[in-house]
Structure 1
Amino acid sequence: MRVLIVDDEAPARARLTRLVAAIPHVELVGLAEDGEVAVQAITTLAPDLVLLDIRMPRLDGFGLVDAMGDEMPLTVFCTAYDEHALQAFDARAVDYLLKPVKPERLAAAVERARALLAGTAASRSRGMKSVSDIVESQGGFLARLLVRDSNRAYLLPVDQVDHIRADRNHCDVHARGRVFRVRRTLTSLAERLDPACFLRINKSDVVRLDAVREIQPWSHGDYRVVLHDGRTLSWSRRFRAAAAE
């Protein structure tokens, strides 16, 4: 895999260079100090993957992605700021790493990019639209959620999600004993989750059906939904009726 590093700070470029050198079967083909230099480097060097900073002079990371359009290689954003994660994945990022980038996180991101390249090549004859289809959806539904835990962002496979609860302007995602935050409304999430796997049971809760241990009749047409971890939720009569339609 051919990698280009784009960062306006020399220490950051040096660190990424060392980390990339430690990953097997990866070739560092170039360094660029801003987006304008990177445009020429991408055109000339044809990297498979760009490790891209966001805040840079002249042309920033998102400006580079916009400038390259469909010619933009796979991208892993490497930045000191966590607030751009959603925009990064809207720009079809493979991953979003916060500085100082950890070796194991970079290695995992590179392996994800390698798998995407292999999958894209294998699927061209089957008419897959783009790499973003692999990262973001399967059959039109979300395959992963962009979630946050403290100051880190993750792509969480939806089959690890047990329960999603609305909380003001975000949702809490419960997955294997941990709670993550996702900056979407519950309604927008529910519309993108496979209804064969997920069920909205009231105005505040969505559950993964395989995470449900038991459903118990309750009162006034409502039911209790007991998850495998023991949490109990309410399945309202209104949402039961909607599920039966």
Structure 2
Amino acid sequence: MARKRVARIVSELPGVEVVLECSSGEEVLKTLGVEDVDVAILDIQMPGLSGLETTARMPEERPYVVFLTAFPEHAVAAFDVGAVDYVVKPADEARIEKALARARSFLDGPPKAEPAPEATWRRLAIPTKGGVTLLAPDDISHALFDGSLVTVHTRDKKLLTDHSLQELEERLPASSFERVHRRALLNLDHVERLESLATGGYVAHLRTGLRVDISRQSARKLRRRLGLR
């Protein structure tokens, strides 16, 4: 299946934007350094680096990878390097759409479980190097992942924790908190204004004077949440 045809199929799917077409694994890696990419569709055999090598060399905060290839024998290796789906050619449009829907389900994250009555949100226990800090969720403005640890920001302090953003997101009220980037969780009640970016994302300006980047994909979700087009 020619790359142009795949790009056409993908671009016609609702809520999907083709950021860039790359001709090699090296070009994919360069693109990830400058573009906010949510999903990458790779072949196994590509000029230069193979799809498997390209995926293995992606940064930690990488896109979800779907393989679209004529080589069924590499499926196990693809899932070993973190692929979310493996589509064998020839593949019709429905199969490609299903693969992207699977990737989108990872982007959206798992549905939040119903909390125990009054148990979770009044005081959140944050494990830190010095012990455990108890915080009211309303006091948390945002949390950022730096590649190894998460920093939880409040109005007047910062806490380093080995809790993941996913763990925090599951324990905080969805009515206030939004995952706005793979590296950022934001309390919308602390946002003073949103600054539009040429990339389609936003910069959230907080009441504390700090700023939080919002990815293009998350900006689309946020606009829907806010009732904006």
What interval of TM-score do these two structures reach, taking the shorter chain for normalisation?
0.3 to 0.5
> Comparing both structures, which one devotes a greater share of its residues to helix?
1
What TM-score, normalized by structure 2, do the two folds share? Answer: 0.48
**Structure that is richer in strand per residue:** 1
Larger Rg: 1
The TM-score, its normalising length taken from structure 1, stands at 0.45
